[in-house]
Each structure stands twice: as structure tokens, then as C-alpha cells.
Amino acid sequence: MTTFKQIRGTDILVLSSDPTTPEEGQIWYNSSSGTLKGYKSVNTWSSGGNLNTARYALAGAGTQTAALGFGGYGTVLSGATELYNGIAWTNGNSMNTARLNLAGSGIQTAGLAFGGRTPTITGAVEKYNGSTWTSVTSMNTARRDLAGAGIQTSTLAFGGDTGTAITAATESYNGTSWTATGNLNTARQLLAGVGTQTAALAFGGYNGTVNLSATESWNGSTWTTLPASMNTARRQFGSAGTQTAALAFGGNPNTTATELWNGTSWASNPTGLATARLQLAGAGTQTAGLGFGGYAPPTISNATEVWTGVGTKTITVS
């Protein structure tokens, strides 16, 4: 008779509480509740309210029910700002510098926009107070196609294209000034980033020749290349989450593919975005994410999709 150990190569564990990062297909006995439990990804995308201005290569910040979308390109280079309340987008005041291929961090009422193309490559930085944008100290390295992580007063910027080279440069922002710090191990542009200034994750991107799947972890001073790569190498994709619970979706090649990171490995979700697209923005967490805008050839998209992660299923033992 086949056993669970023969199938999965592991015993069924007896635990007093559910594991924080279970693997797909893992089964355990919760001795506190007296139930046998298993983990299966039952995460789904659903339609949200459309952006007012269709655009791609924009940036996002905030949460699923309080998101911020800014910059990008529609029919013209855009500085448009929109705020999402979980149902619909509302137009806010535009950025001082219209740009695309920028990065963002923070929350809806305290966002940060940095880098991008105006169409010249820029290191310009603006902060948002929930109503208006204010220009602040520029980055040390002007670049486009970069990624960011953190909050308005504690942000990390990394990777990108300076116009002469794809860079590994990383900079840290303290709310007043930028400081150059440890470089990425792999120089790349069009990558994604999540997390905080002291605990960030960089993944995917483009090295000038091929799409990348490599994942790097940041501890506040140094990047470490992790042994587990993404299942789908990609660039120009959306992301959400933290260093130990990240979400990646869409991207180039034009795909709907969605993956989840549990701090150790990437798992492909059985279902992806409803609309395959690249150069879209993301916001939120691994269990409550948001993807919006982008380019779904030949259409510039205003679509918003809402990600809901459910997680653990309980199996009742008779």
C-alpha cells in the first residue's frame, strides 16, 4: 500500500500549531485542534475597477484597498496619479515630472516616486502626501527600469538602466538623502522588488541578453543570491508582498503566469491573470494583491485585477 511518505518523501508531522510556510501538498496533524490539515494553493484573480487612464510602465504603491498608481505612458508620457479604494480609481493631482519606467514605494497617503524616463533618464524623486507631489533630493545614479522597496522615509532603490549600462547599483533613502550601498550580485533592469529597506527581495529582470529568474535577498547591507529561482524567467512584471511572502505576475514574455515565494522557493499558481500583459504595476501583499495597467499587445490596458490568497484547507478526520 502506498503511503504519504512514499509519495512525498516526508512523514506526516504532528504539530501544536500550523506551519508558517507550508509547502504545496504538505500534510500535518494539528494536535491542538485535533485535525489533519493539508496545504493547497487556492489563490485567484478577479476583476477590479478599471484605471481612469490606460497606461503602461507605471509605478504602484500601497495596499489592495488603498493603492496608488502614478506615471507611465498612455497616448502621451504621463504624470497622472490615481487612488484606489478597493472598488474604483479616483484621479488625484499629477506628478511634477511626467515619466515612465519609474519605481515607487510607500503607501497611498505617503508615496515615493523615483527614477524613470522623461524621456531622458532621470534620478528625480518626488514624495506624495495623499494630495500633492513635492520634488525632493534626487538619487545619486539616474536610471530607468529600476525596482524599489520600503516606505517613503526608508526606501531602497536597485538595478535599472543608466543609459550607458545595466546597473547593479543600490541606494538607500532616509527621507532626506540617498546613500550608495551594496550592489546587487547580478546587474539587471526591468526587475521587481518587494519588502523593506532592511529586508528586501529582488527577482527576475533582464541582463541585456536574456530574461532572468534569479532571486536575491537584502539584509540591510548585502545582497545574497538565493538557490531558488523563479519558475518563469521574465521582465516587466508586477509584484507585491514581502521578503518572505512575495507575489510575481504577468510580464515579458507576454504572460499571465503567477508565482508565490514562501521565503525558500517559488511555486507556480495553477491559474494566472485573466489578461496577459507586461509593464504593469502592483501593490499589496501575497494574500491581498493588486495588478493594474500594462500593455496587452496591441492594447494599452486600464484593467485592474484583484488577487485573493486563501491558503490552508482543513481535512476533517472521522
Q: What is the CATH number of the domain that holds 60?
A: 2.120.10.80
Helix (H) or strand (E) holding 8: helix 4-8
Q: Is residue 315 a part of any domain in this protein?
A: no
Same domain, 22 and 103: no
Instruction: Identify the pLDDT of residue 40.
Output: 66
Q: Are residues 145 and 30 in the same domain?
A: no
With respect to residue 81, please indicate whether it lies within any of the assigned structural domains: yes
> Residues 142, 249: one domain?
yes
Residue 313 lies in a domain: no
Please indicate, yes or no, if residue 55 is contained in any of the structural domains. yes
**pLDDT value, residue 1:** 47
In a domain, 109, yes or no: yes
- Whether 136 and 240 share a structural domain: yes
The answer on 93 and 31 residing in a single domain is no
Amino acid residing at 152: Q
Q: How far is the C-alpha of 39 from the C-alpha of 25, rounded, in Å?
A: 5
- 318 residues of the chain, pLDDT tens digit each: 455 455 555 578 899 988 876 776 788 888 988 888 877 656 899 999 999 999 999 999 999 999 999 999 999 999 999 999 999 999 999 999 999 999 999 999 999 999 999 999 999 999 999 999 999 999 999 999 999 999 999 999 999 999 999 999 999 999 999 999 999 999 999 999 999 999 999 999 999 999 999 999 999 999 999 999 999 999 999 999 999 999 999 999 999 999 999 999 999 998 999 999 999 999 999 999 999 999 999 999 999 999 998 655 555 554
The pLDDT, as a whole number, for residue 43 is 82
In this structure, the answer to whether residues 34 and 172 fall within a common structural domain is: no
The tally of domains found in the chain comes to 2
Looking at the structure, do residues 200 and 79 belong to the same domain, yes or no? yes
Among 271, 203, 206, residue whose Cα is nearest residue 240: 203
Contact 53, 312 (CB under 8 A): no
pLDDT of residue 5: 52
Do residues 29 and 68 both lie within one domain? no
Which residues on adjacent β-strands are paired with residue 261?
A: 246, 266
Report the C-alpha gap between 311 and 107 in whole angstroms.
25
Domain that holds residue 299: 45-308
Residues 6+ apart with CB under 8 A from 87: 48, 49
Whole-number pLDDT of residue 4: 47
Q: Give burial (CB, 10 Å; 0-12/13-18/19+) of 162.
A: middle
Other beta carbons less than 10 A from residue 286's beta carbon: 22
Statement to judge: residues 18 and 123 lie in one domain: no
9 φψ region: left (φ > 0), alpha (ψ -120 to 50), beta (else): left
Examine the domain organization and report whether 28 and 83 are in the same domain.
Answer: no
C-alpha to C-alpha distance for 203 and 186, rounded to whole angstroms: 10
Give the pLDDT score at 9: 53
**Do 151 and 22 sit in the same domain of this protein?**
no
Contact indicator for 140, 173 with CB cutoff of 8 Å: no
Please tell me whether residues 116 and 246 are part of one structural domain.
yes
